[in-house]
Amino acid sequence: MSSGEQIPPWLQEQVGRMQQLQQNLQSIMVQKQHLETEQLETDRALEALKKAGDGDAVYKAAGSILVKSDKGALIAELEERKELANTRLTVLAKQEARLKENLKEAETKIREMLRGPPAPSGQKPDTK
């Protein structure tokens, strides 16, 4: 395609679709990263909480203040949060894999469209 030619509408549509897939993939990856960070923080909090003695005072963040809480209730809450994060990570991983596959298919389709029809088998395309 020379610089004077405009991009055909069918190609613009495919490129737009591919860009949308890339944006969706980026969004999924950011969400996964946030969940993984949250999961690490939850693991650290659980570890520290389990090391605390039964008679030790434990606190829970409630906005910008700390509120005294029950150790058992906090452990249960953190375990539930961890389980929920694991489930969400599994879903995001599946979405990421699906998006990567769709992106690969879109890239292949665009390449095929740009190449044009394939040369008959056994013959090389004319490269004049």
Contact 45, 78 (CB under 8 A): yes
| Domain limits for position 43 | 11-115
pLDDT in tens, 25-81: 999 999 999 999 999 999 999 999 999 998 899 999 999 999 999 999 999 999 999
Is the overall model pTM greater than 0.85, yes or no?
A: no
Residue 23 to residue 17: CA distance in whole angstroms: 10
Question: Domain containing 16 — which CATH number?
Answer: 1.10.287.370
Would residue 128 count as lying in a domain? no
Q: Is residue 1 in a domain?
A: no
Does a structural domain hold residue 69? yes
Q: Residue 128's pLDDT is what?
A: 45
As for how many domains the chain has, the answer is: 1
Task: Tell me whether residue 84 is in a domain.
Answer: yes
* 21 CB-contact burial (10 Å; exposed 0-12 / middle 13-18 / buried 19+): buried
